[in-house]
Structures are given as structure tokens and as C-alpha cells.
Amino acid sequence: MALITYRDAVNQALAEELARDPNVFVMGEEVGQYKGAYKVTRGLLEKFGPDRVIDAPISEAGFCGLGVGASMLGLRPVVEFMFWSFCYVAFDQVINNAANIRYMSGGLINIPIVFRGPANGGTNVGATHSHTPENFVANTPGLKVVCPATPHDAKGLMKAAIRDNDPVFVMENTLLYGNEGEVPEDDYVIPLGKAEVKREGTDISLIAHGRCAILCLEAAEALASEHGINAEVVDLRSIRPLDEEAILESVKKTNRAVLVEENKPFCGVAAQICSIIQEKAFDYLDAPIKRVSSIDAPQIYSMPLEKLQIPSVERITEAVLEIA
């Protein structure tokens, strides 16, 4: 296994799938000549040429819809949003069209498209550029959404997403792009809908996705060394499909749960998980479920305040200490 960055892991997944399947193509703003706004698509244009690595003008509604249309004929577009925040410009295409066409055609048409890009705050770019729309997407039947936290998961999930026959939304994170991790060189996929227990524990379950899973791991170490609390960290990896079994199994073992996400709280991913736990593991709970999410306001620009607005190791630790 090689130690590579999250950025390169996504890049490898794209390169391998482009090489494996001629129906796969990559499209988005600045993905070719500029190598990607965050250099995720570096080298792909040189390797696969401009027919398969396509620089699009700033026309999200246009090229996202074009991607959906192309997928109707069996192509497998991988459409990049420079930021997931810009998907709102193309909402009709990515929500209405991508999610509903299969259903409305009575299953006659498939939409094997991937939309990918970073979705996170924490970079002082203000309210318009800091959205985390995984809860919006997951609210839409017909769509799938994954939020990988590590290089290993990023590559495996991206490859699974591209091979999937439904629309899959892959949400990355600019703050994770530089993180390194072990990534197998051989071809592997991580099935969508499979959570991973990233740290075994006995006292409390920290359930999270994306960068928050990494924060939970850090919090778990602090809880162990400073408070003698042995936390289990469940990284959902995939939001829809959701690994209910992994969630319930962990909660049944630890009897306590803190749910962590960068979404704003109202109808966040954790709200759904809360409902599942109380419905299916109510008798196992020794304390109310706690949630840590972003403070409920548009994203603030000011650096030190944005740090307070999004979940942090400190806030996770505090929430744990309230119930453990």
C-alpha cells in the first residue's frame, strides 16, 4: 500500500475508471487545462484527452443537465462542482431531473451519473461557498450520497459511485485533500452504504461522516487519555444508502450516542439517525442522544468565529462529557 493524499486518491479513482470504461468522462469548470481548482484532476487531460476530460464554461445548470441527458444514453459522466455550494445553481437538474427520471419512466431509464466536489466550511469563504448539502440530497429518493473521510475511502467509494447505475453524489472536503493515508494500489471498491467502525470502543458511540469522523477520532483519543472514556467511532461513509445495522449495533453495545455532522441542525443527517436509534434501539439507550452540528446560522466569514460555528474536537468532547 502506498501513502497518498486524499486528493491523489480521488485522482487515482478517476484515472482508473476512465481507463476501465470508455463510457466514463469527466466534466466541470477548470478540470482540464487548469488541473482542477483543487488539483484533483491533475494529469487527466494529458492522459485521456479533451474528449473525456472536458472544461466547461460557468454554466452549472447547463452542464449538469447535459450530464444527466448523456447518462440516459448510457454514458457515465463524472461531473465536478468546483464547490458543492454551486449545485444550487443547478438544483432542478441535479434534484428534479437526476432523481426522478428513472421513477417517472417506470424504470425504463437509468441515470448512472456521478456529481462530485468539495462540500465543507471552515475555510473563511463565507456563506455562499460553505454549504454541506448532503442532507438535502439524502432527502431525495432516487439519489445516493457519500462523504468519504479518508484517502482509502475516497478512492474506494469514488470507484463504486462511478460503477453504480444510479445518480451518486460524492462530497469531498477541501480541508481533507492534503491528508495522507494508506491506499491500496490494486483495484478495489467500497460498497456504498457500508459504514466503518474506525475506532472500537465500549462507552459511547460517536457517529459521524466526512471530516467530522476525523474530528471524532481525535476527540476519542482525548476522551481516553483525559477522561478514561472509551469511545467508539462509527464513520458512516455513506449517507444514502445508510448502514443502519452498523449504527444500531454500535449503540446497542455502548448504550450512548453523540451524532456529529457539519450540517446545520434542522433536518440534518443526524436528525434521521436519531429517529432510527430511538425507534429501533430505544431500550438500549442509557442517556438521551446528543447532537453536534454547525451553529444554526448562515456561515460566518470571520475566521475565529467560523471555527466556533462548525463542529470541533472541543465541542464533541463537551457533548460526550454531558452524557458519559
Partner 1 sequence: MSAKPNTETPEEHDVAASLREYAKKGINEGIDNKTRLDYYREMVRIRRFEERSLRAYQQGNIGGFLHLYIGQEAVAVGCVSVMKEDDHIITAYRDHGHGLAVGMSMNECMAELYGKHTGCSKGKGGSMHYFAPDKNYWGGHGIVGGQTPLGAGIAFALKYKKLKGACLCFMGDGATNQGPWYESLNLASLWDLPVVFIIENNGYSMGTALGRHSIGTPLARRAEGYDIDWSTCYGHDVYEVRHNVGAALERAHESSRPTVLEIMTYRYRGHSVADADDTYRTKQDIQDYKNTKDPINLFHDHLIEEGIADADTLKQINAEAKEEAEQSAKFAEQSPFPPESDIQADVYWETDNPDERTSEGTLFFN
- What residues are annotated to the active site? 60, 129
Q: Closest CB to partner 1 among 222 and 295?
A: 295
Q: Which position among 21, 34, 49, 288 is part of the footprint of partner 1 (CB under 8 A)? A: 34
Interacting residues toward ligand TPP by CB under 6 A: 29, 58, 60, 82, 86, 89
Cβ atoms of 259 and 274 closer than 8 Å = yes
Q: Give me the residues paired with residue 258 across strands.
A: 206, 290
Q: Which of 232, 234, 211 is nearest to 221 (CA)?
A: 232
Decide if residue 275 touches partner 1 (CB under 8 A): no
Nearest to 18 by CA among 39, 37, 46: 46
Q: Which of 76, 102, 116, 129 binds partner 1 (CB under 8 A)?
A: 129
- Binding of partner 1 at residue 89 (CB under 8 A)? yes
Asked if 103 is part of the footprint of partner 1 (rule: CB under 8 A), the reply reads: no
Work out the number of other CB atoms within 10 angstroms of the CB of residue 223. 24
CB closer to ligand TPP, 126 vs 265: 126
CB atoms inside a 10 Å sphere around CB 56: 19
Which of 23, 100, 110, 123: binder of partner 1 (CB under 8 A)?
Answer: 123
- Which amino acid appears at position 174 of this protein? T
Contacted by 103, from ligand TPP, partner 1, none: CB < 5 to 8 Å by type: none
Q: Note whether 297 binds partner 1 by CB under 8 A.
A: yes
Whether the Cβ atoms of residue 84 and residue 117 lie closer than 8 Å to each other: yes
Q: Which of 6, 81, 84, 86 binds partner 1 (CB under 8 A)?
A: 86
Q: How far apart are CA 118 and CA 148, in angstroms?
A: 11
Print burial letters for 115-136: b (CB count within 10 Å at least 16), e (below 16). Answer: bbbbbbbbbbbeeebbbbbbbb
66 binds partner 1 (CB under 8 A): no
Pick the binder of partner 1 from 128, 165, 202, 278 (CB under 8 A): 128
| Cβ-based nearer residue to ligand TPP, 128 or 275 | 128
Q: Which is nearer to ligand TPP, 3 or 58 (CB)?
A: 58
Instruction: Please state whether the peptide bond connecting residue 241 to the residue before it is cis, i.e. omega within 30 degrees of 0.
Output: yes
Work out whether the CA dihedral 97, 38, 207, 301 comes out positive or negative.
negative
Instruction: Provide the minimum distance between the beta carbon of 80 and partner 1 in the complex, in angstroms, as a whole number.
Output: 13
Instruction: Return the ∠ at Cα 185 (arms to 175 and 152), rounded to 5°.
Output: 30
Q: Give residues 214-273 in contact with partner 1 (rule: CB under 8 A).
A: 264-266
Q: Which residues are near partner 1 by CB under 8 A?
A: 29-30, 33-35, 37, 55, 57-62, 85-86, 88-89, 123-129, 264-266, 291, 293, 295-298, 300-305, 308-309
